[in-house]
Every structure is written in structure tokens, then in C-alpha cells.
Amino acid sequence: MQRLAAGVTVVTLRQGATDLAMTATALTSVSLHPPMVLFCVHTDARIREALDAVDTWGVSILDGEAGVAAERLASPGRPALGQLVGIDHHRGPLTGAALLEDAQGWLECRTQWVRNAGDHDVVVGQVLDATLGRTATGALVHHLGRLRPLGRH
């Protein structure tokens, strides 16, 4: 599967005063009417546990300049508090989730359902809002076990 190039995103949610975030390469459009996406999260991830209490979350579709943030938020065992310290972001107006600035665009979503699939859970959410970020900055992809910027246009 590491040979399948995939776009890199960051999924975030706000639980009380705590921001939780994870890098995800498994984000897929599920439906256009209504707009829905899915992502996969490891069953023992902190953000997975928080999804039982919080039903809204954000997605930042990362651009080619976001490699450092994506690597940091993919690190297992990182502290639960302060995950976004030093990472430029703004708050989604509908969800309060942190949305990373180095992004091609952002989604704010509400969970529709969660199902187990082995050591991961599949989370499907309805898109509440979609916003374009700056354009023509390239993309960030995961390929052959590494994060790589994809050219500028």
C-alpha cells in the first residue's frame, strides 16, 4: 500500500479546551449529495476516543509546504496537550476545530457514523462547510513511506 500515492490531510477536533490532531492519508469523498467524506483512524488513537464525545471535526487538505506539521502530527506518543503549538492555524467557525494555514482547503464535518475495520475505525461525516485555501502551492502526498511535496502549478 505504500506504493499508492495519497493526499495528506490533518484531521482535528476540539474537546473542551484541548485540540487533538492527526495526520491522515485515508480521506475519501463518499457522496456529493449530501457532501460526505470518510477518514480512517487507529482504534487506540486519542482522537478516536474523543470522537465518542465530540461529533464535529475539521480537515485541512495540506499543501506542499506543510510537511513539518504533518510529520509532527503523525508521531505516535506525542503529548496530548499542546499538539498545535507552533503550527499556524485558525478556528473553523462551525466546529471550533483548528484548521491549519498551510492548506489547499478546509472542511468542517459532523460525524454520521463510525464502524470498526480491523485495527482502524472508519469515520464518515457530512461536510458542513468547505473553504478554499490559497491556490497553486502544490500538494503534499504520501508515497513509498515518505511525505513528499508535489509540484507547484
In the chain, the percentage of residues whose pLDDT exceeds 70 is 97
**CA atoms within 13 Å, Cβ hemisphere of 144:** 1
Choose between 57 and 3: higher pLDDT: 57
Going by pLDDT thresholds of 50, 70 and 90, the confidence category of residue 131 is very high
Residue 120 sits in a domain whose CATH number is: 2.30.110.10
Q: Is residue 23 one of the residues assigned to a domain?
A: yes
Q: How many domains is the chain partitioned into structurally? A: 1
Residue 122 lies in a domain: yes
For the cut 70, the answer to whether the pLDDT of residue 99 exceeds it is yes
Residues 26-76 have pLDDT tens digits of 899 999 999 999 999 999 999 999 999 999 999 999 998 899 999 999 988
Task: Identify the domain containing residue 13 by its residue range.
Answer: 6-150
φ, ψ of residue 31 in degrees (nearest 5):
-150, 145
Residue 25 DSSP class: S
For residue 1, tell me if it sits in a domain.
Answer: no
Q: Which helix (H) or strand (E) holds 49?
A: helix 46-50
